[in-house]
Amino acid sequence: MIEQWKKYIWIGVAGFIFAVTLGSYVVINYAYPFIPEVLVDLVRKPELLKNAKAKDCADCHEEIFEAWEKSRHFQAWTSSVFIEDSENRSKEKCLSCHAPDVVTPGEKPSLRLDHRDDGVFCISCHVRDGAMEGPFELFSPPHPTRKNQDYRKSKFCSSCHPKTFKEWKAIGKDAICQDCHMRRKPGRLTQKFPLSFFHSSKQVANHSFPAGIVEDEDIAVDYKWKGTAITVKLTNKFALHNLPTADNGDPRFYLYLTLFDANGEELDRAKEILAPQQETALVYGQPTPFLFLAPKGAVRAEIEIMRKPAWTKEKQSIKKLEILPSN
């Protein structure tokens, strides 16, 4: 008899826990406007809206924080090339985009006073008017949030990338900066239990803001080798801005042409620089011709395209191919 009751009690307890869990899930994700303010205030962390550092967000947004730590945005203030070019950060006009206060989409930010070593950080891009703004309509117990459509627009990036934004706009295609530089995939916004359990899965954007994403087929190579004249035409078929693009840095692509004789000996190696600062970057969809002279005895050549980001001296190979004279 007692054994029988025990069974029902267990079923009752399990049912209760299940109902509370399900109820909480539904309330947190769908019925949150009905949660009383007094309850919300108990779990709020007002310090997150006051002079926080990026590290303070890591407690809950661990994955986004770790991605951002790998990004150039995190390096914006401490980058050695930036320090050199801004004359040890003495050039006033250089500082604001590299350690911005609040970002208002479309407007150049002003320089912030604290935590400058965090560079372009979470707080610049997300804290506005007493809330964490973002692309979602959702409920976050620790801090207020507000949905803002601008997070899914290129205009958001234009505050600090105005030249690149202009190039992008002139092309007039639909894909926005975030589609290529903040790819989204399903996941949790937070990794902290129990928040990670109660908040539904969403689309999470890659906060490492990757730039080295050009692949072999993204730059088309067309060539003609007739007698001593070699014409190589390059076309940027993918990036919806010049390649490379820059507002202040000096990123470069290089086009190398190495010529060989019949014995496989190198005869000559020519180089072209593709750089925004020299106005030789590849315009989207527009073939750019480069002319070379083949020395006597050249029977074969190798074309190589390399990338050098603004912040390093190291080059990476993107594409390599062999060409032969056409007779």
93, 185, 296, 313: which one binds ligand HEC (CB under 6 A): 93
Q: Does 251 bind ligand HEC (CB under 6 A)?
A: yes
Q: Closer CB to ligand HEC, residue 12 or residue 287? A: 287
Amino acid identity, position 92: E
Residue among 233, 281, 275, 234 nearest 252 (CA): 275
Q: Min. distance of Cβ 66 from ligand HEC in angstroms?
A: 8
40, 117, 128, 134: which one binds ligand HEC (CB under 6 A): 134
Q: Does 65 bind ligand HEC (CB under 6 A)?
A: yes
41, 47, 107, 247: which one binds ligand HEC (CB under 6 A): 247
Placement of tokens 């995190």 in the chain: 74
Site for ligand HEC in 257-286 (CB under 6 A): none
User: In the structure encoding, which two tokens stand for residue 227, read together?
Assistant: 């007698």
Q: Does 183 bind ligand HEC (CB under 6 A)?
A: no
219, 232, 234, 243: which one binds ligand HEC (CB under 6 A): 243
Report yes or no: 110 and 100 within 8 Å, Cβ to Cβ. yes
Q: Min. distance of Cβ 51 from ligand HEC in angstroms?
A: 10
Site for ligand HEC in 282-321 (CB under 6 A): 307, 309-311
Residue whose beta carbon is closest to ligand HEC: 134
Amino acid identity, position 179: D
- For the chain, the first-to-last Cα distance in angstroms comes to 100
Report yes or no: 124 and 76 within 8 Å, Cβ to Cβ. no
Site for ligand HEC in 1-20 (CB under 6 A): none
Q: Residue count at the site for ligand HEC (CB under 6 A)? A: 99
Q: Cβ–Cβ contacts within 10 Å for residue 120, how many? A: 24
Amino acid identity, position 270: A
Q: Does 213 bind ligand HEC (CB under 6 A)?
A: yes
Give 207's contacts (C-beta < 8 A, 6+ positions apart).
Answer: 64, 65, 67, 68, 71, 182
Report yes or no: 35 and 139 within 8 Å, Cβ to Cβ. yes
27, 32, 62, 72: which one binds ligand HEC (CB under 6 A): 72
The b-or-e profile of 162-173 (16+ CB within 10 A means b, else e) is eebbebbeeeee
Q: Closer CB to ligand HEC, residue 216 or residue 266? A: 216
Site for ligand HEC in 21-60 (CB under 6 A): 45, 48, 52, 54, 56-57, 59-60
Q: Min. distance of Cβ 282 from ligand HEC in angstroms?
A: 10
Q: Min. distance of Cβ 304 from ligand HEC in angstroms?
A: 15
User: In the structure encoding, which two tokens stand for residue 87, read together?
Assistant: 């004359």
